[in-house]
Amino acid sequence: MEYQYQLEHQIRDSIPNSPLETTEVSSTNPNEIVMIVKPQAIRELARLLKAQKGYRWLMDICGVHYPEREKSLEVVYHFFNRDQNRRIRVKVPHKEGEKIPSLVSVYKAANWFEREAFDMFGIIFEGHPNLTRILCHHEFVGHPLRKDYHPRANQTLSKPIEYEFEKSSDSDDEDILLNQKNYLNLGPSHPATHGTFRWFVELEGETIVRSRAEIGYLHRCFEKMAETHKYNQVIPYTDRLNYLSAPMNNDGYCRTVEKLLGVEIPARGRYIRVILNELSRIIDHLVCIGTTSVDMGALSTFWYCFSEREETYTLFEKLCGNRMLTSVTRVGGIAGDIDEDWMASCRARVKSMRNTIDEIDALLSNNKIWLSRMKDTGVISREDAIDFGFTGPCLRATGEDMDLRKQEPYYFYDTFDFEVPTMTGGDNYSRYMIRILEMRQSCRIIEQALSKLPSGPTQIDDPKIVLPPKKEIYSNIEALMNHFMLIIDGVKPPAGDVYSYTEAANGELGFYLVSDGSGKPYRLKVRPPCFPIYSAFEDMIQGGMVADAVATLGQLNVIAGELDR
């Protein structure tokens, strides 16, 4: 409360024309302050928060559309202060066509987030260097996340966008051989771009002078789909965000809805979620290392990683029936339960994982080729990383030991004995080492969670949130009715909004959920950890070789499903 008044005073004193409309503490998070701010003051406010109040991270920018309101559009900013563990959510409601000052000059992270808000809602940011479409294709008309855009209104593209850099003035046309710059397009279908990324680079010899990354080739409209489905029906869509570690996305989403509902799931459910999360973290890191090593030419590491992953899939299949995209959590708990047999195979799995991690470590960490490819390539400094909104292993590779599991322990992470490894290089090798070290810590967490696992239910006991057991449905009229109502109406959280975050394999996976009290989300924005990380890619590869850029892309572990949604 005191902090809130102090902040309010400081803002009123330093920014003219009373920018604040309201300030309140968030109902779902005591460390979060929600402000409504006038559009023209947002840039000064961001400067103040960053320079004087220690809000070094701009976590997310998103739009919300309220067609029935006079100020029909709203921009929502999420700021994060790591040292005091505080968050500020700033809302800027405005009329259509009104211009919002861009934050690109304050936070580098704002660049792509603002482009996305422009693409999805048509919000115009004044002073943005390149306010163009980012996810939808360039021939797209309209703004798809507005409420009056029909979810199925497809627009076909006639031909891919073509790039051209404006010629730099110092190019000497006479001596073509000496000063000729080469232009190279990589992707979107290129093995080194892992499927769906595309970059266009200007080369001088083999050195990258300028580059431009194009994303959106896997924009499959997650957020629009979430608005047209009930809360529980959204869970399978979340699987396909970061498809390398699906249970973590399920968990992050369900936790968001639970937070808005104001419920906490039973201890056993939380422990199982921890086990699943850590297993997925390991297999996610394994794919990252495996695919990077394929790009570097070390094919055998790929086989090591994938056979380990395959066994973990079997474990998931045993639990829920699907290998990869598990959809295993529910709002209010876990679907199903684990038994002694599963726990025994999980223990064996962890044991064999430790061996594989050691083997990979022995194969790569001191390998001469690996070292020369990874050391001092794709370097980013700590300040830049924070400015770009890095979280997760890529941030910890620059020396900042921020991990949400320690920062703001959820579930039982404060009771487990584990460390947060950091490296200081900020290069590809540091990122690789962080992943190796982190996998070992995850093994420790799984072992502890398995030994501490309490007995009891895995789901909360509330017929308005969780389906009754199958046996009850067929024998009890009340259970049948509850089942019917929950399927037809869905879970109904109270009206309001919530921002919830978990430490996913790539960093902070945030969900910003706006509910209007009905059975479907009014707006669900995902803050994918890859998105701000990949926005730094253009800067990181500048001055390096094309081959370094390939290694950098591999070690940033950008997942298209999460990046483009």
Partner 1 sequence: MKTLTPLDNLPYFTTKIQDFINWSRKHSLWPLPFGTACCGIEYMAVVGAHYDVSRFGAEVVRFSPRQADLLIVAGTITEKMAPVLRRVYEQMPDPKWVISMGVCASSGGFYRAYHTVQGIESVIPVDVYVPGCPPTPESVIGAIIKLQEKITKGDTPQQRLLQRRKLAAKTSAKEFETDDIYSEDRSEASNVAELKRV
Q: Which is nearer to partner 1, 232 or 430 (CB)?
A: 232
DSSP run (H or E) holding 491:
none
236 binds partner 1 (CB under 8 A): yes
Burial 516-551 (b: 16+ CB within 10 A, else e): eeebbbbbbbbbbbbbbbbbbbbebbeebebebbbb
- Integer CA distances (angstroms), 523 to 27, 74, 135, 292, 498, in order: 18, 12, 18, 36, 11
- How near is the Cβ of 138 to partner 1 at its closest, in Å? 9
1, 2, 13, 158: which one contacts partner 1 (CB under 8 A)? 158
**Residue 374, amino acid:** M
* Residue 167 within binding range of partner 1, rule CB under 8 A: no
Could you tell me how many residues make up the chain?
Answer: 565
Residue 196 in contact with partner 1, rule: CB under 8 A: yes
153 binds partner 1, rule: CB under 8 A:
yes
In terms of CB distance, is 157 or 495 closer to partner 1? 157
* Pairing state between β 32-37 and 86-94: parallel
Chosen residue from 20, 225, 320, 546 binding partner 1 by CB under 8 A: 225
**Closest by CA position to 103, among listed 134, 125, 86, 76:** 125
Stretch that binds partner 1, among 31-39, 240-248, 404-412, 461-469 (CB under 8 A): 240-248
- Which residues are registered as beta bridge partners of 150? none
- Binding of partner 1 at residue 247 (CB under 8 A)? no
Taking the complex as a whole, the smallest distance from the CB of residue 236 to partner 1 amounts, in Å, to 7
Q: Name the nearest CA neighbour of 562 among 267, 245, 205, 328.
A: 245
Positions in 81-140 near partner 1 (CB under 8 A): 135-137, 140
Site string for partner 1, 447-486 (x = CB under 8 A): ----------------------------------------
| Residue 535 Cβ vs partner 1, minimum distance, rounded to whole Å | 18
Name the residue with tokens 């503490």. 25
Strands 73-81 and 86-94 come out as antiparallel
d(CA 260, CA 26): 11
Residues 6+ apart with CB under 8 A from 104: 110, 111, 114, 125, 127, 128, 129
**Stretch touching partner 1 by CB under 8 A, among 158-166, 250-258, 487-495, 540-548:** 158-166
**Binding map of partner 1 across residues 317-346, x = CB under 8 A, - = no contact:** ------xxx---------------------
Based on CB atoms, which residue is closest to partner 1, 94 or 219? 219
Closest by CA to 54, choosing from 19, 80, 90, is 80
- Shortest Å, Cβ 559 to partner 1: 9
Residues 48-87 that bind partner 1 (CB under 8 A): none
When the beta carbons of 237 and 537 are compared against partner 1, the nearer one is 237
The single-letter code of the amino acid at 21 is E
Q: Is 4 in the site for partner 1 (CB under 8 A)?
A: no
Measuring CA to CA, how many Å separate 107 from each of 51, 64, 98, 500, 517?
A: 11, 21, 22, 22, 34
Cβ neighbors of 498 (< 8 A, separation 6 or more) are: 26, 28, 29, 256, 259, 260, 512, 513
Is there binding between residue 253 and partner 1 (CB under 8 A)?
no
Is residue 309 close enough to count as binding partner 1 by CB under 8 A?
yes
Binding window for partner 1 (CB under 8 A); candidates: 39-47, 154-162, 175-183, 420-428: 154-162
Which of 12, 220, 351, 470 is close enough to bind partner 1 by CB under 8 A?
Answer: 220
Nearer to partner 1, 36 or 225 (CB): 225
Q: Which residues bind partner 1 (CB under 8 A)?
A: 135-137, 140, 142, 144, 148-160, 188-191, 194-196, 216-221, 224-225, 236-237, 240, 243-244, 287, 291, 302-303, 306-307, 309-310, 313, 323-325, 560-561
